[in-house]
Amino acid sequence: MLYKYCAEREIPHKQLGKLIVATGVAETAKLDILLRNAKENGVDDLQMMEGSQAMEIEPELRCLKALLSPSTGIVDSHSFMLSLLADAENLGTTISYNTAVLSGYVGDEGLELHISESKELDNHSVGSPVSPQLILLPKLLINSAGLSAIPLAKRFHGLNQAFVPPAYYARGCYFTLSQTRSPLSHLIYPLPEDGGIGVHVTLDLNGLVRFGPDVEWIDGEKDVMSCFLNRFDYSVNPTRCSKFYPVIRKYFPNLKDGSLEPGYSGIRPKLSGPGQPPSDFVIQGEDIHSIPGLVNLFGIESPGLTSSLAIAEYIVSRYLR
């Protein structure tokens, strides 16, 4: 769906392909598990390769075995989001910027949304309530608030909190390869690790190489209003690169000392914490929580952007018929 959308709207994108690599004997069996998972989920174009085959197409790579995903690609995410915004506005959508949804209420008349200007949250003191400036009565509410989706759902009075999972937050940093010419032509992924998909190689449309993300568990819910205002720390500590070099050299041994520069970071809204098996997305409607008109989206981390069109189509087909 995403390739078709990008082609129709001339959004920059490129189908590069991805290699998921096993660098040790103990890892090769995990590739078999990923291949089986893929087939069970309808992904039937993955190809298992011997290390020699993978290193033929990527001479700088070192691995014992690899899974090739030929359908994987990259997209100009900002152009994609601007295109979605234009689509929404062309269809009559009103975007209310600098506005915060504080809480909700489920009553006999349906849903209430309590809303305030974001600057009101800026001025509040921790622990004190913020009075809504506006109350909306939506026929349909899709809670797709990302990092704030679970904290917001916890403030929906009348929603059975048994349906609201715990929230975990993982910050991930990326470092950029300082050399201008990319030594690799595919995305390269190690096997998934606790809390993430491993420090992998990602290429942008200009050929810039980035490595990341790592996993740093943070406390994301200590102050709900700060969470709503996205006051997370997105700085990249340059010293974190010391942990990147040995991990990357397992599959890219020619990485030179001093060649990594701080890039950027992101924070993933996760449904599983340290040491727990990874959780799938949660798309939760009336059939689960019994509240008409409310759809909650929990744990939509990567690859949420890639699957955003499919998620929207699923919600429409399931809850808006």
pLDDT in tens, 246-276: 999 999 999 999 999 999 999 999 999 999 9
The reported pLDDT for the residue numbered 292 is 93
- Give the lowest-confidence range in 105-114, 147-156, 187-196: 187-196
Q: Can you give the pTM of this predicted structure?
A: 0.93
- Give the lowest-confidence range in 4-8, 108-112, 244-248: 108-112
Q: In the predicted model, what is the mean pLDDT of residues 127-136?
A: 87
Percent of the chain with pLDDT over 90: 85
Instruction: Provide the 10 A C-beta neighbour count for residue 107.
Output: 10
| Partner residues linked to 196 by β-bridges | 193
Helices (H) and strands (E) in the chain, counts: 10, 18
The reported pLDDT for the residue numbered 299 is 97
Give how far Cα 147 sits from Cα of 100, 108, 224, 230, 271, Å.
14, 29, 11, 8, 11
Q: Is the Cβ–Cβ distance between 55 and 63 less than 8 Å? A: yes
- Residue (of 182, 187, 190, 186) closest to 65 by Cα position: 190
From edge to edge, which strands make up the β-sheet containing 282-284?
141-143, 294-298, 282-284
The reported pLDDT for the residue numbered 37 is 95
C-alpha–C-alpha distance, residues 249 and 270, integer Å: 28
The reported pLDDT for the residue numbered 195 is 66
Residue bearing tokens 């001479």: 59
Mean of pLDDT over the chain? 94
- Among left, alpha and beta (phi > 0; psi -120 to 50; other), residue 290 is left
Q: Is the Cβ–Cβ distance between 150 and 230 less than 8 Å? A: no
| Partner residues linked to 295 by β-bridges | 142
Greater pLDDT, 311 or 278: 311
Tell me 196's DSSP state.
B
C-alpha–C-alpha distance, residues 67 and 71, integer Å: 12
C-alpha–C-alpha distance, residues 50 and 65, integer Å: 5
- Residue (of 247, 238, 266) closest to 178 by Cα position: 238
The reported pLDDT for the residue numbered 280 is 93
pLDDT in tens, 47-83: 999 999 999 999 999 999 999 999 999 999 999 999 9
pLDDT above 80 for 222: no
C-alpha–C-alpha distance, residues 200 and 61, integer Å: 12
Long-range contacts of 249-258 (CB under 8 A, 24+ apart): 250/23, 250/24, 250/62, 250/190, 251/21, 251/23, 251/61, 251/62, 251/63, 251/188, 251/190, 252/60, 252/61, 252/62, 252/183, 252/184, 252/188, 252/201, 253/62, 254/60, 254/183, 258/178
The amino acid at residue 163 is F
